Amino acid sequence: MQWGVAETLAIRNNTFPALSHTVLAFDGIDAATGKPLGGVFTPCQILNNVFQSGAYGIKGTGQGSGLPSLAWWSNGRYAMNGNVIEREATIPWPVGQTLLPPGGLAAVLDPVTFKHPDPNVGY
Largest CA distance in the chain: 50
How does the average pLDDT of the chain come out, rounded?
A: 91
Mean pLDDT value of segment 74-85: 96
Reported confidence tier of residue 10, pLDDT bands at 50, 70, 90:
very high
Q: What is the pTM of this model?
A: 0.89
pLDDT at 3: 64
User: Percent of the chain, pLDDT > 70?
Assistant: 95
Is the four-CA dihedral 69, 75, 76, 79 of positive or negative sign?
negative
CB distance 67 to 78 below 8 Å: no
